[in-house]
Amino acid sequence: MAPLALVEHDLVSRITLESGGANHMGNRQMVDESNAWAVILAAGEGSRLRALTTLPSGIAVPKQFCSLYEGPSLLEEALRRGESVADRSRICAVVAAQHRRWWQDALGSLPERNVIVQPQNRGTANGILLPLMHILRRDPSARIVLLPSDHHVLQEAVLTASLKDALEQLDWRSEETLLLGIQPGELDPDLGYILPGGTDGRGALTVARFVEKPPQPVAGELIRAGGLWNAFIVVTTAGALCDLFRERIPEVVEAMCAAVQRDAQGFGIAAVTELYPRLPTIDFSRDIVAGQESKLRVLPVRPCGWSDLGTPMRVAEVLDRARRAKAALPGRSAARAHVSLAAQHERMQVRGHGNRAAAAQ
């Protein structure tokens, strides 16, 4: 990989000062309730669920553009989740250029500059850093909620209450980053876990360590020790999030900041497009937050029917729980999703029964 061009080391801080806000590297000001932003992370490929998301034509539709049932897509659900904590004018969506046919209409209600297009996939860290640089230019004292676009929540009110609690806590912890950890409803070795430390005395728990997809016996031990499912939902200030990045990849932060600034002063996204092929692939959980646990806190969220819908088996489990709970299904929307996971799952079951019957003859 060609080396990243080095720019002025304090460029991010200088942009913050030029924008009239507090210097996020120095004494941070209290954040105002009106500056909450939601960032919907919608650039993933959803490759683990392709068995359910592939159309008869052979085209695999990324999971976030599918619905669990017929009706609103998971992306639409995430947008509504974002609206529970931020005005639509402060909701950004990070999307992939190659998915334009699926997101262009779905995101039509967002301001055009809030739809942030990644030229290429360079890992989850760059997918978060890019919108962070855009938000820092516009609102240096922003409070940010990072929301995956491909999860399902049965009891949205429970999660919304925790999101609002986390945002309020930023009033007294503007230099810390809050993670939302879901209290496990069952043992699942295919999820990531956050093992909390003790209480910090200010309404949250410290983070002892992260454990990604532990063996089943270890997952059981983690749950007994108070372990929480890592939902990849992050609530933080723009400055605190930038600090996490600068601690690990300062040269990437400076290069991304310079590219976003150049594009904002000109036309199009030429600088970001030129930069992306030279960026390393960086994972947010593994390469950024792991090892910086002292800057993190976790808020437990009581069971709310959360699922990352990461595999066909987990989709089946969510559908089964919804049926047993006799939960009301989401209403149909004007713009229906391209694929219904429930319908696809039912077709797979029918095909499976047919294949077994044919084999038995």
pLDDT in tens, 321-340: 877 765 555 554 445 556 88
CATH of the domain at 45: 3.90.550.10
Count of domains forming the chain: 1
Q: What is the DSSP letter of 227?
A: -
CB within 8 Å of 87: residues ≥ 6 apart: none
What digits encode the pLDDT tens for the residues 56-96? 888 899 999 999 887 889 999 999 999 999 999 999 999 99
**Largest distance between two CA atoms of the chain:** 76
Residue 197 lies in a domain: no
Measured between alpha carbons, how far is 263 from 350 in angstroms, rounded to an integer?
Answer: 51
Q: Which residue has the tokens 């017929």?
A: 70
Q: 147: which strand partners?
A: 40
Supply the mean pLDDT for the chain.
Answer: 86
Percent of the chain scored above 90 by pLDDT? 68
Q: Which contiguous run of DSSP H or E holds residue 200?
A: none
d(C-alpha 242, C-alpha 24), whole Å:
9
For residue 195, being part of any structural domain is answered with no
Residue 319: alpha-carbon gap to chain centroid? 22
Asked if residues 4 and 59 have their Cβ atoms less than 8 Å apart, the reply is no
The tens digit of pLDDT for each residue in 219-248 reads 999 999 999 999 999 999 999 999 999 999
State the pLDDT at residue 25.
Answer: 33
CA angle (309, 310, 313) in 5-degree steps: 80
Q: pLDDT of 247-271, one tens digit each?
A: 999 999 999 999 999 999 886 669 9
In a domain, 125, yes or no: yes
Domain span at residue 319?
Answer: 11-24+31-182+227-360
Specify the pLDDT at position 82: 98
150 compared with 269, residue with greater pLDDT: 150
Question: Rounded CA gap, 288 and 83, in Å?
Answer: 27
Confidence of residue 22 (pLDDT cuts 50, 70, 90): very low
The packing angle between helices 11-18 and 123-138, to 10°, is 30
Domain-located, residue 330: yes
Tell me what the mean pLDDT of segment 153-170 comes to.
96
User: Residue 231 domain-assigned?
Assistant: yes
Angle, in degrees to the nearest 10, between helices 238-248 and 11-18? 160
| Residue 31, Cβ density class (10 Å: 0-12 exposed, 13-18 middle, ≥19 buried) | buried
3-state secondary structure of 277: helix
Q: Looking at residue 238, what is its pLDDT?
A: 98
The mean-pLDDT minimum among 107-116, 171-180, 292-301, 347-356 falls in 347-356
Q: What is d(CA 45, CA 40) in angstroms, rounded to the nearest whole number?
A: 15
Q: Tell me the C-alpha distance between 311 and 328, whole Å.
A: 23
Kindly state the DSSP code that residue 270 receives in the 8-state scheme: H
* 188 occurs within a structural domain: no
Helix (H) or strand (E) holding 207: strand 205-212
Within its chain, how far is the Cα of 299 from the centroid? Answer: 16
* Whole-number Å distance between alpha carbons of 184 and 303: 7
Q: Give the pLDDT of residue 341.
A: 84
Q: What is the mean pLDDT of residues 124-152?
A: 97
The one-letter amino acid code at 350 reads: V
The reply to whether 213 falls in a domain is no
C-alpha 38: how far from chain center: 10
153 within domain boundaries = yes
Handedness of CA 171, 234, 306, 80 (dihedral sign): positive
Q: From CA 131, how far away is CA 134, in angstroms rounded?
A: 5
Using pLDDT thresholds of 50, 70 and 90, give the confidence band for residue 198.
Answer: very high
Confidence of residue 358 (pLDDT cuts 50, 70, 90): very low
pLDDT at 24: 36
